[in-house]
Amino acid sequence: MNRNRKYTDFLDPSKYWIKNNAILVLVLMVLTILVGIVFSETQTKIGWLNLVLALLFIIILFIVLIILIQRPLLESLNKFIKNQTKLMESMAIPWLKDTDQLTEYELDSKDFKEIWLITLDLLDDVQDGPFQSVVEANLKKNIKYYYFVPENETIKARVKQIQKFHRYHENLNFIFLPNSFIFIVPKLDIVIYNPLESNSRAAFMGIPTPDDQNHYHALVNSEFIDKLVGILSEIPAYLNS
């Protein structure tokens, strides 16, 4: 703030603005005079009607150009802001990922051999789900998938959809568990990467949010992974798979 400003300047802000923008005011005055002269000369030569029509055409063309240019610029800006927001969130909380970040993590890693998923609904992996294309790409890398799901008619129908989409790939495995297993947690969602590799494994648990608009996944500790893998690996259906 300028400490030398007079008290009267605060009472009359326009005076202070003109004082500090004298050059801009002078340029605007000159441009106004020039535009007036041009309008006057043009009107005497082509008439008011043609002048007005020409101005309307220029204004419409200008508006169309602004719309055409503004749309891709806004899309690029929104994309940039979204990426920066994700980057900041990732840097601020490295152990927390949203669904987009987790799909990138699952797709980009070259060290995965097996991926285990415990899910109540399989909605992320059915048609148009965020992980459908990720699973498709990883199956081509010879990564094995094991889905641990509750046994009911809805899940069985979704299993068939997923199997059909992936052409019954041999690395796609589904293991049905009793509904009393650990499905007491609403919207249970756990993924374990390289569950049998103690040096390179990691696991994320889904966190339901109050508004259900966003879904986040938190990195869990090794003790939790040990207990979960110990339970799942002893299931007969897994042992026989």
Helix (H, G, I), strand (E, B) or coil at 229: helix
Q: What is the pLDDT of residues 123-140, one digit of tens each?
A: 999 988 999 999 999 999
| Model pLDDT for residues 196-231, shown as the tens digit of each residue | 998 889 999 998 777 666 788 999 999 999 999 998
pLDDT of residue 51: 60
pLDDT at 162: 97
The C-alpha atoms of residue 234 and residue 7 are separated, in whole angstroms, by 82
Pair type for strands 202-208 and 215-219: antiparallel
Total residues belonging to the chain? 241
pLDDT of amino acid 141: 94
Q: Which pLDDT value is given to residue 8?
A: 45
pLDDT of residue 62: 64
Write down the CATH number for the domain with range 96-239: 3.30.870.10
- For residues 115 and 141, is the Cβ–Cβ distance under 8 A? no
pLDDT at 11 over 70: no
User: Over the stretch 155-187, which tens digit does the pLDDT of each residue have?
Assistant: 999 999 999 999 999 999 999 987 666 655 666
- Structure confidence by residue, pLDDT tens digits, 70-109: 677 677 777 777 777 766 666 667 788 989 999 999 998 8
Give span(s): CATH 3.30.870.10, the chain: 96-239
In this predicted structure, the answer to whether residue 61 has a pLDDT above a threshold of 80 is no
The identity of residue 210, as a single letter, is P
The arrangement of strands across the sheet holding 96-98 comes to: 96-98, 215-219, 202-208, 189-193, 114-119, 144-150, 172-177
pLDDT of residue 20 exceeding 70: no
Most confident range (mean pLDDT) of 10-14, 190-194, 231-235 is 190-194
Task: Please enumerate in sequence order all residues whose Cβ is within 8 A of that of 25, keeping only pairs 6 or more positions apart, or say none.
Answer: 18
